[in-house]
Structure 1
């Protein structure tokens, strides 16, 4: 082992890192929001289709039985099976929207945490090593690596460096 501590890191670099991470998370939230809006548009269209089928339709949609009458010549049968299939599809899409909204909230919370951490580092920390430690602890506590598929976090880099130092 050498006594070389490596390159000197500044607090400003960690502040910028935190702001970059927050920006990336916000970009993910925007994309997820677009996807959620598209699903909601599909739900609206399918709801309109269900209403249209019901309005165009029949005497029996599964309600209480009324007195029997002769069939009216212009009345159409409501295809209950296809409406039920549309309802199942709507339910699945609504579940996807709910999941996207929960994921968006988690990404927003982490982005806000990074922004807050950047401010704390800028205002309270003078040593680059302390800033590094706080960022790594922040990411580990919040499982930040799970939010960044295409990018390595400082937490992951620290774990990687630690495991290679032990070899």
Structure 2
């Protein structure tokens, strides 16, 4: 009840203007009941976001090690954002909450590691350490998600997953650029 109350109020008024009293009234509970479970509205929001990230992680892990795992993971991620737009806007929007974007990035890096650690992964690029490639891909995906959220989900989750998958595949099919050799000094 508290979760639904907070999310409804965020949709209507934004997080900063909401009080514990507002949440309690919306949930039709006493404030004392709220305080039995949470210190303040920030703690409630933190728990909601952790639950959401756990749900995303659980969904992705259920996909196992299938060949289309990356596409399906991206699709799940964009569909999840459609299901929870208020929370994603709070985490990644212009006035986002950095702690949660870091948690989201960490979950995505863990998921991406599963794909990168396979010896024959098409995502591996010779000479690029896996942690560097992982951070690069995860940051790119989050940047695209932020852009997509800012435009109010302009394209479908299916299109976004397909396009990101195509970009990722294209990356793995090109050799890494080499830096030009500097001429020897006289």
Same fold (TM over 0.5): no
TM-score w.r.t. the length of structure 2 is: 0.28
Bigger relative contact order, structure 1 or 2 (CA pairs below 8 A, ≥6 apart): 1
Which is higher, the Rg of structure 1 or of structure 2?
1
TM-score w.r.t. the length of structure 1 is: 0.31
